[in-house]
Amino acid sequence: MTVPDKLSALRQEMLEYQLDAYIIPSTDPHQSEYPAPRWASREWISGFTGSAGTVVVTLHEAKLWTDSRYFLQAEEELAGTGIQLMKLKTPHTPEYADWLADHLMSGQTVGVDGRVFSARAAQQLKKKLKKAELHLKTDYDLIGLVWKDRPELPNRPVSEHLAEFSGENWKDRLDQLTGWMQDEGLDYYLVSALDELAWLLNLRGTDIDFNPLMVGYFIAGRRGDHAVFAEQAEALAKWAGQLDNLQRLPYADTERYLRRLNAQDADIGFDPASTSVWLSTAAGGMESCGVASPIPKWKARKNETALAHLREVMAHDAVALLRLRRWLDTRLSEGVTEYEVGEKLAELRGEYDRYVSESFNPIVGYNGNGAIVHYHANAERAARIRPEGILLLDSGGQYHNGTTDITRTFALGEPTAEQREHFTLVLQGHIDLATARFPRGTSGVQLDGFARRPLWQHELNYGHGTGHGVGFFLNVHEGPAGISPNPRSQSAQYPLEPGMVLSNEPGYYLEGEYGIRTENLVVVQESEEEGWLHFETITLFPIDRQLIDETLLSPAQKVWLNDYHRMVWERVSPLLEGEELRWLEEACRSL
């Protein structure tokens, strides 16, 4: 089916169910950033492959809302589909709820699949539509009716993440949750977000590419009567045997189980941000026990065991990137594509015995493609890299002992003065954020300006956030904290706490020419002065000195850069010998 065919089939079902508009979000039943193939409904209906976006279909129009990271990609992928791109947060572009309120008539009905729409999102949408005298229906999975070859529920291998890596036994984490439930007066609590489930139970799965997650739910009982709902029944048997009164039930039984508990007048808690409106209704509705999950803040603060493993894995990750950089130099004259670079890096990371997979689709952007913030090269359309220009490489690995995310910008020939200036301004912002000292209670929105100041001094900017939380052998993007200029962003408002791991990744993008980004991971640490915090940089790979204009760096910035390269040398060199060791020595030479 072509996209127009799919839209036509969907509109037939809309007429059947008397819906005047239908919303297809990017989410799954767990509000995951990256859904399993079964729930890639927005991608299926539109052909747009970006990770964020919402499609709205009426009987006569179809539109896709997405943010600035994907404008160029969306324009290309939507061409000829009949779906119009709506550029979020640009002048004269309304949010989709406001657009519906303006374009539908009083009394008309909007539909959405309540199985993949969160309780909070449904509540907010319903409130907006009500002002325009529009109705919201959350009962209909119309995509399921028209997507005839829709993938089945995922049921891939799952394994226990050992306490020697995580630093905590899962039963102790479960006790922590039931203790919190006692304080909140809850009999049961539904854990819906997949990374929360993985962290709580020390389980890692393979249901979603790049994310070591198992698709399932967990209902914790304050008196020890717990239940896990997943398709991997046999794989979970040994793990579940460690705890008495733990039921293993099919994924589809979650709603029935919640309704039975609700009929017994049990107090059932759930997080309205990650629980579908479908399951929240079964648990009693938003007015009963919608309670934000405590797990994200527990999960974000890595313990010392996890941090020690993460520092170790950074050195091995650096070895893979070093070998990739040297390999690239040998291949440039012969010809190599962006796609081949990403494949080779995954192969090199796989030489470390604790490697599992990449942590996201690598962004390998040569020259103008580097200016597309979330660019992804496929085998058919990847650009051929030549020994000139700039290459932006953003990648990461999933390891049993940690998750990595690193971006480096490489000069493949003699850089221009403009390229060196832009690269150095980005580097200055990176250093200024890395060296920031801040009092407890400081949030990411207060720190974001550190990374942008050098660019702003030249009236330049970048259109993405500066930092996101990173999981431990979990999602490469995790909450609750982040670094962003948006004062309305919940993650940017969340105070940073010791043990949190975040990215530090300012950039600059000249459309059609090149992209520049320098990204390291940092850990929030307590300073010697009580009540103050700072960042410890833990990523270990040299920054390309060819692109640095030393005249722009302050003495303090030069000291940081030399200290950083000294740390890279000390921690990575023991893993190398011969020509690789000499390459690292030269790359880490002081300014």
- Relative orientation angle of helices 555-572 and 578-587, to the nearest 10 degrees: 170
Fold of 158-299: Creatine Amidinohydrolase; Chain A, domain 1 (3.40.350)
Q: Where are the chain's structural domains?
A: 3-146, 158-299, 301-584
pLDDT score of 42 more than 90: yes
pLDDT tier at 243 (50, 70, 90 boundaries)?
confident
pLDDT of residue 270: 97
Q: Which CATH class is domain 3-146?
A: alpha beta
Quote the mean pLDDT of the chain. Answer: 96
Task: Assign 334 a pLDDT band (cuts: 50, 70, 90).
Answer: confident
% of the chain residues with pLDDT over 90: 92
Assigned token pair, 217: 């739910």
- So what's the pLDDT on residue 129? 97
The answer to whether domain 3-146 and domain 158-299 are alike in fold is yes
Rounded Cα distance, 65 and 94, in Å: 9
Segment 5-17 mean pLDDT: 98
- Per-residue model confidence (pLDDT) at position 504: 98
| Other CB atoms within 10 A of residue 169 CB | 13
Give the pLDDT score at 240: 82
pLDDT, tens only, 484-523 = 999 999 999 999 999 999 999 999 999 999 999 999 999 9
pLDDT at 552 (0 to 100): 98
Provide the β-strand partners of residue 392.
Answer: 365, 409
Q: Which two tokens stand for residue 3?
A: 């996209």
Confidence (pLDDT) at 558: 98
Higher pLDDT, 236 or 485: 485
Residue type, 458: H
CATH architecture of 301-584: Alpha-Beta Complex (3.90)
Residues ≥6 apart with Cβ < 8 Å to 262: 268, 282, 283, 284
Position 238 confidence tier, pLDDT thresholds 50, 70, 90: confident
pLDDT higher than 80, residue 288: no
- pLDDT the model gives residue 120: 95
Main-chain dihedrals φ then ψ at residue 154, nearest 5 degrees: -65, 145
Q: What average pLDDT does the segment 212-217 reach?
A: 97
* pTM of the model as a whole: 0.94
State pLDDT tens for residues 316-329.
999 999 999 999 99
Burial of 123 (0-12, 13-18, 19+ CB in 10 A): middle
Confidence label for 235 from pLDDT (cuts 50, 70 and 90)? confident
Spatial separation of the C-alpha atoms in residues 328 and 323, rounded to whole Å: 8
Which residues contact residue 590 at a Cβ distance below 8 angstroms, ignoring those fewer than 6 apart? 562, 565, 566
Q: What is the spatial distance between Cα 467 and Cα 407, in angstroms, rounded to a whole number? A: 12
The reported pLDDT for the residue numbered 241 is 83
- Continuous segment of H or E residues that includes residue 188: strand 188-191
Diameter over CA atoms, the chain: 75
Distance CA 24, CA 123 (A): 16
Q: Please work out, in degrees rounded to the nearest 5, the angle formed at the alpha carbon of residue 563 by the alpha carbons of 561 and 569.
A: 105
Percentage, residues of the chain above pLDDT 70: 100
Q: What is the pLDDT of residue 297?
A: 98
How would you label 172-201 residue by residue, b for 16+ Cβ within 10 Å and e otherwise? ebbeebbebbeeeebbbbbbbbbbbbbbbb
Mean pLDDT score, 231-246: 83
Residue 347: per-residue pLDDT: 98
Cross-strand pairs, 526: 533
pLDDT in tens, 400-416: 999 999 999 999 999 99
- For 426-438, what is the mean pLDDT? 98
Distance (Å, rounded) from C-alpha 261 to C-alpha 252?
16
The predicted structure's pLDDT at residue 474 = 98
Is the confidence at residue 4, as pLDDT, over 80?
A: yes
Residues in the chain: 591
